[in-house]
């Protein structure tokens, strides 16, 4: 080894020691129904919270209020000093850490630092102690995107300070799934100078007023036999509700909370949809089809599934569907439901209404039900301006570049995503029997969680592997282009 090589090794070792021992920058301590947050501590790379002072209103030149926003970092794979930084966007729920899923595999491959910012208002990143409607006016995708831009700049400057350097930019890459997948695509669209590219997994970039395709996809994924049983169950519940409403609701342990029939039918519809969305179709179809063949009571069979799987395994609470409960303004364990409904009712809609023909869900879950909910929970005049949202972001005609779109073939949300591919905006569908929401992140099914998002339990592991390889190839190209230009973007 030459003297120059020895000097380089010593310098690198000292830089690493400095980086790892430098105190973390912090300003102090302080689907609503989403499976992505229901993980045990062992499934996280880190759950140590850090804090950042965030601007409350990015669009006012006069309002300089701030709030503390939670974030996480994981540096074990980081190639100091020039490795990429992967920013994982928090979505519509509490962020409890950085999950050890497929993004961890990518970080290890590319020598990347992982940082994740909790979405404003959710979890412990609430600007206010009360969630009354007036206080929610700063809850929007536009404000969230500006949060990400501000945080990205803060973190890069913090990293430079740790490494005793100035005006250096690491290559950044943005990640998100579902709503945060849309944010990932929109971030690259609105802030192309701050990232080399984005992965938008199951990204719902199209705001949809009457989202009938959601129910139609559930029917397609269920197959004729299971679909027919689910439709029969809906009809039976409607009949029983008309004759003895409280009795049939009690069968589902919902009589004490879901007084509004629409809330009850929404709960039942979501319970079925979740199995297909997250890659567990047999959990709902097998017991119901067997019950039908055996001549058993189908309503009782479905109630058993809802209570054991949807409420049990998934931990979804009945009260999160109760409009009286959604009106609560105190911060509680189900606050995410109220917060997400506010975004639904003001920006994106995604109203999962029953199609006029051949519907699985009850026809009571219609447009009027959703609009009534919005006004009942948040006040008169509350409704989603989906045209304005799609005009601002482009919907499925998004005109950005270097955004990877991925979707699972059985995921009902894919119909609000971009599924046509182009050289600048590659789009891939992971096709298999149990490929659902964010299968490229978490494998199949998403529950139970598997380390590294293993594809081994997918009915076609090769389909998942091929899409992941395309993701990696695009990232490799775009990150190398950033490195060649000496910037974090191109």
Nearest to 413 by CA among 208, 114, 139: 208
Residue from 125, 437, 439, 488 carrying the catalytic annotation = 437
Candidates 261, 270, 411, 440; catalytic one: 411
Token pair 């890659």: residue: 279
DSSP 8-state class, residue 69: E
Element (H, E) at 105: helix 102-110
DSSP secondary-structure letter at 130? Answer: B
Alpha-carbon distance values, 338 to 302, 345, 386, 485 (Å): 27, 10, 19, 45
Annotated catalytic residue within 141, 178, 180, 184 = 178
Q: What are the DSSP calls for 294-333, one per residue?
A: TT--HHHHHHHHIIIIIIIIS---GGGG-HHHHT--B--T
Closest CA to 121 of 331, 381, 431: 331
**Cα–Cα separations (whole angstroms), residue 182 to 92, 104, 141, 198, 277:** 12, 20, 9, 10, 17
C-alpha distance from residue 29 to each of 61, 331, 336 (Å): 28, 18, 22
Q: Report which DSSP code applies to 43.
A: G
Asked if 366 is an active-site residue, the reply is no
| Token code pair at residue 138 | 């700063």
Compute and round to an integer the Cα radius of gyration of the chain.
23
- 8 A C-beta contact, residue 367 and residue 225: no
Q: Could you tell me if 434 and 444 are in contact, meaning their C-beta atoms sit under 8 angstroms apart?
A: yes
Q: Distance between CA 302 and CA 296 in Å, rounded?
A: 11
Is 297 an annotated catalytic residue?
Answer: no
CB atoms within 10 A of CB 370: 24
- The torsion of the CA quartet 321, 344, 55, 68, rounded to 10 degrees, works out to 20
Q: Is 437 marked active-site?
A: yes
Structure tokens at 133: 């409607």
The pair of structure tokens assigned to 364 is: 């009571």
Q: Report, as residue numbers or ranges, the catalytic residues.
A: 178, 411, 437
């Amino acid at each position: 080894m030459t003297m120059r090589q020895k000097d380089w090794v010593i310098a690198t070792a000292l830089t690493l020691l400095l980086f790892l021992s430098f105190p973390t920058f912090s300003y102090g301590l302080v689907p609503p129904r989403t499976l992505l947050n229901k993980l045990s501590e062992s499934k996280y790379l880190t759950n140590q919270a850090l804090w950042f002072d965030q601007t409350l209103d990015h669009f006012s030149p006069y309002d300089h209020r701030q709030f503390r926003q939670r974030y996480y970092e994981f540096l074990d794979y980081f190639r100091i000093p020039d490795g990429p930084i992967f920013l994982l966007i928090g979505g519509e729920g509490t962020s409890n850490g950085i999950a050890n899923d497929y993004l961890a595999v990518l970080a290890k491959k590319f020598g990347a630092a992982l940082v994740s910012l909790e979405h404003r208002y959710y979890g412990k990143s609430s600007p206010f102690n009360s969630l009354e409607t007036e206080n929610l006016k700063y809850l929007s995708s536009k404000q969230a995107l500006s949060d990400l831009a501000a945080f990205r700049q803060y973190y890069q400057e913090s990293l430079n300070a740790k490494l005793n350097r100035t005006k250096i930019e690491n290559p950044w890459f943005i990640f998100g799934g579902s709503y945060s997948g849309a944010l990932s695509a929109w971030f690259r669209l609105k802030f192309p100078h701050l990232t080399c590219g984005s992965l938008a997994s199951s990204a719902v970039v199209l705001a949809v007023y009457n989202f009938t395709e959601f129910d139609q996809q559930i029917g397609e994924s269920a197959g004729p036999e299971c679909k027919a049983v689910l439709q029969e169950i809906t009809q039976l519940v409607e009949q029983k509700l008309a004759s003895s409403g409280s009795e049939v609701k009690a069968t589902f342990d919902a009589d004490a909370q879901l007084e509004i029939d629409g809330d009850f039918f929404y709960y039942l519809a979501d319970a079925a949809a979740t199995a297909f969305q997250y890659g567990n179709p047999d959990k709902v179809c097998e017991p119901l089809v067997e019950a039908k063949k055996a001549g058993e009571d189908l309503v009782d069979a479905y109630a058993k599934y809802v209570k054991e799987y949807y409420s049990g395994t998934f931990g979804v609470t009945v009260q999160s569907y109760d409009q009286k409960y959604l009106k609560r303004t105190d911060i509680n364990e189900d606050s995410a439901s109220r917060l997400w409904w506010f975004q639904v009712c003001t920006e994106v809609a995604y109203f999962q209404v029953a199609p006029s023909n051949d519907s699985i869900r009850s026809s009571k879950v219609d447009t009027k039900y959703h609009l009534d909910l919005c006004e009942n929970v948040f006040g008169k005049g509350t409704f989603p301006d989906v045209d304005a949202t799609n005009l601002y972001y482009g919907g499925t005609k998004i005109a950005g570049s270097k955004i990877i779109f991925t979707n699972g073939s059985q995921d009902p949300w894919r119909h609000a995503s971009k599924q046509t591919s182009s050289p600048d905006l590659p789009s891939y569908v992971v096709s298999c029997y149990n490929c659902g929401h964010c299968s490229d992140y978490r494998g199949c099914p998403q529950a139970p969680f598997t380390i590294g998002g293993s594809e081994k339990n997918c009915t076609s592991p090769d389909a998942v592997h091929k899409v992941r390889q395309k993701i990696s190839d695009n990232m490799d190209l775009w990150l190398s282009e950033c490195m060649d230009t000496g910037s974090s973007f191109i």
